Amino acid sequence: MKHQNKIRIGLIHALEESEEPIRQSFQKLWPNVILNEYSDFQLSIDRANGLDESRIRSRIIDLGQLAVNDHVDAILYTCSAFGDAIDAAKIKFNLPILRPNESAFRMAINAESDTNILVTFEPSLELLVNEFQAMSEGLDINIKGHLIKNALELLKEEQVQAHNQKIIDAVMMIPSDETVILGQFSMARAVEQINKDISDHLVLNTPDAAVTELKKLFVS
C-alpha cells in the first residue's frame, strides 16, 4: 500500500460545474492526495444532443488513457451521464475506477429505505435511475428520479444561491423517512444549506461519498 501522501487520483470531468465540488470534497476529506485532472466539457453538450454512444465511449476511454499514462492510482469520473462508457473504461484499465454515483448508491442501499435521485442535468435522470435499479436488484427499495428544472442553467449563470434554493425546495418535498441522493457533483454546492435547514432527511452527496470510498481503498 502506498503512503497516503503519494497516492495520485485522476479526476475526469465532462461538466465544468463538477470541478469545484470534488476539489472541495478532497480538501475536506483527503487533503494530501495528489489530483490529476482531465476534462472534455464538450462531452456533456454532445450527450445532451444525442451523440452516438460508441463515440461517447471512445472519448471517455481516451480520457482514462491519459490518466493511466500519468500513472494515477485510481480514476474518478465526475459527470453522471456516462455510466455505460465508464463501465467500458473499467473493463479496459487495470486500476480502481469509480462512476461518480456508485459510492452514494451503495450508501443509500445500505440505508434500506426508499430512495430519491435528484438531478439538474436531464440526460442523467433515466441513466441514474437505471444504474440504481441494477445495483439494488432483488432488494425492497423503491427508486424515484426527479429533475429539478432550470437549476443547472442558474448555476451556469453564476446564480448559485438560486440554484441551491431550487435543490433545497425539491428535498423538502420528499418524505423525511426516504433517502435523497443529490445525483450530480455540481449539486453538492447546496449541501451546507441543506444540512442547516433540513436536518431530518438523509441527504447523500456524490463527491463526498466518492472521496470516502476512494480513501478507504488506499488508507488503512
Given a cut of 70, is residue 3 above it in pLDDT? no
Q: Which of 217, 196, 214 is nearest to 206 (CA)?
A: 214
- Separation CA 149–CA 166 (nearest Å): 9
Pick the closest to residue 23 from 14, 4, 36 (CA basis).
36
Contacts of residue 87, Cβ cutoff 8 Å, sequence gap at least 6 = 99
Which CATH number applies to 102-206: 3.40.80.10, 3.40.50.1100, 3.40.50.1860, 3.30.310.50? 3.40.50.1860
pLDDT digits 0-9 by tens, 177-218: 999 999 999 999 999 999 998 988 999 999 999 999 999 999
Of residues 174 and 56, which shows the higher confidence score? 174
- Tell me the CA distances in angstroms from 109 to 77, 118, 130, 159, one per residue in order: 21, 16, 14, 33
DSSP letter, residue 6: G
The reply to whether domains 4-100+208-218 and 102-206 share a CATH topology is yes
CATH code assigned to 4-100+208-218? 3.40.50.1860
**What are the structural domain ranges in the chain?**
4-100+208-218, 102-206
| pLDDT value, residue 81 | 78
For 202, other C-beta atoms within 10 Å of its C-beta total 15
DSSP state of 153: H
Separation between Cα atoms, residue 163 and residue 154, nearest integer Å: 6
Q: Cell numbers 487520483 correspond to what residue?
A: 9
User: Taking a C-beta distance cutoff of 8 angstroms, is the pair 190, 19 a contact?
Assistant: no
- Grid cell 482531465 — which residue? 38
End-to-end Cα separation, the chain, in angstroms: 9
> Is-above-0.85 flag for pTM?
yes
Contacts of 212 (CB under 8 A, 6+ apart): 29, 103
Confidence of residue 4 (pLDDT cuts 50, 70, 90): very low
